[in-house]
């Protein structure tokens, strides 16, 4: 089948859960023999929306990648201003805040024009994420089956009228979790497209993971700066102040003091190296080193407030590592509750108290890791996940799913 995948950024060196998710789905569908084209921007940096990669057609293995040039900052400002004026005139579902945070990010009108002219040549177009211009506007200009992979968060933007309208345009939807499915169903307003709860697959680590990159006990955060990560410096400072003199047992059996424990951040969060005692800031790393940081940790921490599914929790569980997740993020709190693979916290004080309870119970930590591992490996291997996409394509091929068709919701 001929398929397109719309995602705001795409490249092997682009970090981010949505971008990883879209790329791996594209690669797996191409490996099954489908003709897959990714429609994306030339941008690499999601803060500046730079014009980094060459415009035009290229290959990523068996996947065709068509990049559309990110228009200038001035053009983007004009687009936002025009949409703001339409809002003030009562002719746009976009609020003023959305016009300046979501609208025109990245500003790729060429991508939308391509969908308008050529999408009828495709069997289906998959739209990854609800938050950016290519999906928000691109779905309106698509003339074939539209499959949404919204990766929805329980935030104000997802509950806006603009995103409600986007969700209702999809002819089928892939959700990351039962929690996300419930969010989506609140937006459908009587329309009942098939909803497949597929999740996202995990690429297993190398058969032999390297040793921990540092010879110190540590907990690890993996990812970029997002809502919630600003808590991390205060969290480790509070832990070291309260429990710095206490003695704990590491996973390898060694004893250590609380003030020896480090909080390591791997990825792109905007923390300054050496600024906070107890924090060790690492930038981007290759996959092999990333897995070494995970496997060598005492606990993985995710303070994010908004997730549709936490891949970092799944990666930790894949290697039997317990997790400490933000309780205010319902998706993660439910992931932890369902697996028994860790604990949750709300603020720096509870971070310190819950972390110390985990560190004082090495046997309990090990059991949490085993329970999480069982769930991750059973449900989040790529063959299991991609089967949901295969079912959607089979329905399209057999004529059971067409553009604009209302269908009974699927429980998968």
**Percent of the chain predicted with pLDDT > 70:** 96
Specify whether the backbone of 276 is left (phi greater than 0), alpha (psi in -120 to 50) or beta.
beta
Do residues 251 and 336 share a domain? yes
Q: Give the total residue count for the chain.
A: 412
Let me know whether 253 and 190 are in one domain. Answer: no
Res. 157: pLDDT tops 70: yes
Number of domains in the chain: 2
Q: Is residue 236 part of a domain?
A: yes
Tokens 């369902």, residue located = 338
Task: Flag whether pLDDT at 275 surpasses 80.
Answer: no
Q: How far apart are the first and last CA of the chain?
A: 23
The CATH number of whichever domain residue 156 belongs to comes to: 3.40.50.2000
CA separation for the pair 353, 380 (Å, rounded): 31
Q: Are residues 131 and 273 in the same domain?
A: no
Is 70 exceeded by the pLDDT of residue 405? no
pLDDT computed for residue 218 by the predictor: 97
- Tell me the average pLDDT across 223-246: 91
3-state class of 285 per DSSP?
coil
Per-residue model confidence (pLDDT) at position 412: 32
Q: Is the domain of 224 the same as that of 364?
A: yes
| pLDDT beyond 50 at 20 | yes
Q: What pLDDT, on the 0 to 100 scale, is given for residue 305?
A: 92
pLDDT of residue 161: 85
Contacts of residue 405, defined as CB under 8 A and 6 or more positions apart, other chains included, come to 171
The mean pLDDT value for 143-153 works out to 95
How far is 152 from 158, CA to CA, in rounded Å? Answer: 7
Number of Cβ atoms within 10 Å of the Cβ of 300: 27
pTM of the model: 0.85
CB proximity list for 94: less than 8 A, separation 6 or greater: 83, 84, 86, 87, 102, 103, 162
Residue 92 maps to a domain = no
User: Domain containing 130: what range?
Assistant: 2-70+106-201+381-397
Q: Which residue has the higher pLDDT, 103 or 373?
A: 373
Q: Is the pLDDT of residue 272 over 80?
A: no
pLDDT tens for 193-215 read: 999 999 999 998 888 899 999 99
33, burial (CB in 10 Å: exposed 0-12, middle 13-18, buried 19+): exposed
Do 118 and 187 reside in the same domain of the chain? yes
Same domain, 49 and 143: yes
Indicate if 132 and 257 belong to the same structural domain: no
What pLDDT was estimated at residue 411?
29
d(Cα 262, Cα 264) in Å, to the nearest integer?
Answer: 6
User: How far lies 186's CA from each of 132, 159, 221, in Å?
Assistant: 21, 9, 32
Query: Domain check: are 121 and 248 in the same one?
Result: no
- Residue 180 and residue 119 share a domain: yes
pLDDT score for 274 = 57
Whether 394 shows a pLDDT value over 90: the answer reads: yes
């Amino acid at each position: 089948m001929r398929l397109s995948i719309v995602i705001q950024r795409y490249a092997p060196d682009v970090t981010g859960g949505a971008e990883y998710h879209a790329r791996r789905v594209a690669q797996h569908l191409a490996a099954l023999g489908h003709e897959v084209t990714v429609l994306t921007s030339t941008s690499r940096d999601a803060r500046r929306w730079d014009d980094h990669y060459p415009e035009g057609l290229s290959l990523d293995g068996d996947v065709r990648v068509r990049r559309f040039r990110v228009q200038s900052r001035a053009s983007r400002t004009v687009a936002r201003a025009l949409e703001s004026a339409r809002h003030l005139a009562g002719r746009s579902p976009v609020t003023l805040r959305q016009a300046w945070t979501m609208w025109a990010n990245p500003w790729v009108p060429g991508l939308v024009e391509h969908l308008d002219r050529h999408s009828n040549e495709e069997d289906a177009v998959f739209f990854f994420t609800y938050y950016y211009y290519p999906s928000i506007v691109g779905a309106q200009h698509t003339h074939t089956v539209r499959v949404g992979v919204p990766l929805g968060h329980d935030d104000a933007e997802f509950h806006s009228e603009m995103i409600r309208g986007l969700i209702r345009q999809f002819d089928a939807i892939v959700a990351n979790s039962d929690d996300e499915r419930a969010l989506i169903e609140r937006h459908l307003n009587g329309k009942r497209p098939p909803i497949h709860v597929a999740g996202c697959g995990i690429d297993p680590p190398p058969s032999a993971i390297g040793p921990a990159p540092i010879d110190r006990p540590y907990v690890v955060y993996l990812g970029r700066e997002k809502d919630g990560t600003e808590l991390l410096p205060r969290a480790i400072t509070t832990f070291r102040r309260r429990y710095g003199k206490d003695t704990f047992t590491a996973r390898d059996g060694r004893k250590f003091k609380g003030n020896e424990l480090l909080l390591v951040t791997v990825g792109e969060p905007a923390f300054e190296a050496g600024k906070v005692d107890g924090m060790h800031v690492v930038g981007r790393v290759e996959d092999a080193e990333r897995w070494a940081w995970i496997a060598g940790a005492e606990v993985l921490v995710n303070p994010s407030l908004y997730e549709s599914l936490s891949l970092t929790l799944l990666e930790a569980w894949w290697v039997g590592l317990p997790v400490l997740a933000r309780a205010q993020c319902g998706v993660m709190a439910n992931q932890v509750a369902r697996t028994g693979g860790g604990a949750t916290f709300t603020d720096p004080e509870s971070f310190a108290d819950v972390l110390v309870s985990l560190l004082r119970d090495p046997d309990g930590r090990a059991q949490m890791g085993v329970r999480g591992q069982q769930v991750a490996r059973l449900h989040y291997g790529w063959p299991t996940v991609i089967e949901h996409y295969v079912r959607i394509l089979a329905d399209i091929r057999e004529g059971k799913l067409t553009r604009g068709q209302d269908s009974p919701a699927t429980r998968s």
